[in-house]
Each structure stands twice: as C-alpha cells, then as structure tokens.
Amino acid sequence: MRITDDTKQIYGRNQDFHFYASNAMEWMTGDDLESIVKKIRKSSKTGRYGELHFWVFYVPLNIKEAEYQINNYVPQVDGIIFLGEYK
C-alpha cells in the first residue's frame, strides 16, 4: 500500500475513526494508516508460517472509545470500509 498526500489528508489523525489491520496470526489498531501498514507488514513477513497476507479496514469509531466484536478477522461495526488485502 502506498500512502499519498491525498490519503493523509483524508485519513488524518485525531478523528472519530481508526484503522484495524489483521493477518491470520494477529491484529492491531491505530489512528495512523501508514504506521499500521508498516507494522503489520513487518510482522506478516517475520512469522514462522512464511509471508502472510493481511487486511486493512477503516473503522468509523474513535480509537479511545471503540468497543466491538471481531468475527473471522473482521471488526463487526456498521460503516466499516475494507481498504484492501496486501502482502
């Protein structure tokens, strides 16, 4: 995933949303898309199962107040946006 200036303007910090990334072994959240992608990409390449694909989602909830269920690696939230699957 390439983060552009347009993406940073759309997905700025301190908003009422966050990002959720997951692979088959773990998940992580954060309000900085570039940081989340970098972290999950690194962990997806260092696993003992080889390089894993990972998913990234936009979650329309403030990260500090968010509470939701995860089902099959996907947050169960109204308004969630799937940003893509990456390797």
Span 66-71, mean pLDDT?
Answer: 90
pLDDT tens figures, 11-67: 445 578 999 999 888 899 998 899 998 888 888 777 666 788 899 999 999 888 888
Give the chain as a 3 state SS string. Answer: CCCCHHHHHHCCCCCCCEEEEECCCCEEEECCHHHHHHHHHHHHHCCCCCCCCEEEEEECCCCCCCCCCEECCEECCCCCEEEEEEC
Q: Note the pTM of the prediction, 2 decimals.
A: 0.77
What pLDDT is stored for residue 78 in this prediction? Answer: 94
| pLDDT confidence of residue 24 | 84
Q: Is the pLDDT of residue 3 over 60?
A: no
